[in-house]
Amino acid sequence: MPIQAWVIAFLLTGLLYFLAGWLPFRYLGGRALTSSLISLHLASPVILEKIRDGVVLLDVQDQILHVNSAALRILEKEPSFAGQPLETLFQSNSATALQLMKARAGRWDLQEKTPSGDKWLDMTFSPLTDKQGKHRGQIVIFRDITPRKLAQIQLEAANLELNARNRDLDRYNCEIRTLHEMSNRLQACATVEESYPIIRGYMEQLLPAVAGGLYICSPQRRCLELVLSWPDQVDLAGEFEGRQCKGLVQGELYRSGSGWADESCGHVAGQEGITYTCRPLIIEGVSMGLLHIFYPTAQLSQNQFEMALAVLDTIKLGLLNLMMQDKLRQESIRDPLTNLFNRRYMEEALRMALYHAQRTGQPLALVMADVDNFKQINDRYGHQQGDKVLVQVGQLFLNNIRRNDIACRYGGDEFILVMPDAPLQSAYARADALRRELSGSPESQSGPEPISLSLGVAAFPEHGETAAGLIGAADKALYLAKQGGRDRIHSA
């Protein structure tokens, strides 16, 4: 019984020592813990060994008095640091940080290299004083917070990635809205020409690093002409033949530069260090134009490149829609054989021209022309030869009239030319020049029979104040020219 009492007393004493060391650390602040340790005669090593966190006691010269086993285990060190500076317990590159921590007591996070890898330590530096307030040293308490720190780092990285994705999503949504806005504005255009400033503005807004231009096919010159470019003073070919663009030849998107085809198109020859894209504009197998963009290879990310393609596709659809509308409009107002305006368009245009002349008092003239012996040519050589004659006469008008003149095929082999702001004398002289141009043309004389025109000229208001009156007067003058021997002109 006496032996059992002694054992129980020993165990209770050890438990009190343990609680005296553990409870202050877990439930008291740094200064309360320091006071508790001082009250236990500078923390008995037995008590320090019971603490699961690393504890280092320093004397007044900042030399190590004691390092508990938890500190050695965390730092993966051998117990041989008594009497040495605190810095010797840590890596050499931590010395500056440790000196700062000692000078400014408080709580710090320190990344320390150990044999098993980097560890994050939560360190608390507290001065030790006795009951009289005399400085007796310093206590350093630290614990391994590596799992928590790594989780925090991963969380911060995830937050950064999430924020970046949110920014990308916001930018993408903004770009989609802008594309939709551009598409709506292109659809609201009445002509292709109205779309030019819209295309330029949105290209500079959506793709500021990209330069380029829009080419439109010119049937008369049989080439593609530059009608729009961005930004200002960009170096692009003013015109080129369609066969010089591989995109037009292949009838599909063509890319050249970094990671794409090495062979360049003829219209961008000599431009080194760039990546470019050609997007053909094709309607029913007919090339109508070309969208061409280029940029320094290093200045466009994959996302920006995909956005560039989306912008090109949106512009392409808008332009093709406008071109198709224009094509249908032209087909509804033009004669398919001669490409002159048809009778329906002429009647409306003449009505508007007469209204303008009446309102402003400006002159207006009307010329009616008829191909001499056309029925004979048709009967002898067939309709194919007759069509060639009509096409030749139509081309004569297209090539030799003013911009505001209106040339149309009135019906069969008859043509009408409306000449706003032209007095009778000027219209007569211009009509006679057309007659002589056709009669003197080698092409008109090289066929089975020579081609000539008879023409009648009438003017507003001398010969009529309505469309029907003017046309009737010009028709009578044409009849007189025919009666006079053909290949001549007569005034009403």
pLDDT in tens, the chain (492 residues): 454 555 455 555 555 555 555 454 444 444 444 444 444 444 466 777 888 899 988 888 888 888 888 988 998 888 877 788 888 888 777 777 777 777 777 888 888 888 888 899 998 888 888 778 888 888 889 999 999 999 999 999 999 999 999 998 898 899 889 999 999 999 998 888 899 999 999 888 888 888 888 999 886 667 889 988 888 777 888 888 888 888 888 888 888 876 666 677 888 866 666 788 888 988 778 888 888 888 865 566 777 778 888 888 888 888 888 888 888 888 888 898 998 999 999 999 999 999 999 999 999 999 999 999 888 888 888 888 889 999 999 999 998 888 889 999 998 899 999 999 999 999 999 999 999 998 888 877 777 888 899 999 999 999 988 999 999 999 999 999 988 888 889 998
Q: What is the pLDDT of residue 391?
A: 92
| Residue 201 token pair | 């503005």
Going along the chain from its start, the domains and CATH numbers come out as 18-144 (3.30.450.20), 170-332 (3.30.450.40), 343-491 (3.30.70.270)
Phi-psi map region of 485: left, alpha, beta (phi>0 left; psi -120 to 50 alpha): left
From the CB of residue 166, how many other CB atoms can be counted at a distance below 10 Å?
10
- Give the bridge partners for 128, in sequence order: 137
Is residue 300 within 8 Å of 210, Cβ to Cβ?
yes
Rounded-to-integer distance, Cα 373 and Cα 383, Å: 13
Q: What is the pLDDT of residue 10?
A: 53
Q: Helix (H, G, I), strand (E, B), or coil: what is residue 362?
A: coil
pTM higher than 0.75 for the full model? no
Q: What is the pLDDT of residue 294?
A: 84
Is residue 258 within 8 Å of 280, Cβ to Cβ?
no
Rounded-to-integer distance, Cα 432 and Cα 387, Å: 23
- Cα 270 to chain center, whole Å? 25
Phi-psi map region of 62: left, alpha, beta (phi>0 left; psi -120 to 50 alpha): left
Q: What is the pLDDT of residue 28?
A: 42
Q: Which residues contact 82 (CB under 8 A, 6 or more apart)?
A: 64, 65, 66, 67
Q: List strand residue ranges (DSSP E) for 130-246, in order.
A: 135-144, 211-218, 223-230, 239-240
Q: Helix (H, G, I), strand (E, B), or coil: what is residue 252?
A: coil
Helix 302-333 vs helix 192-206: angle between axes, to the nearest 10 degrees?
170
Q: What is the pLDDT of residue 48?
A: 79
From the CB of residue 249, how many other CB atoms can be counted at a distance below 10 Å?
14
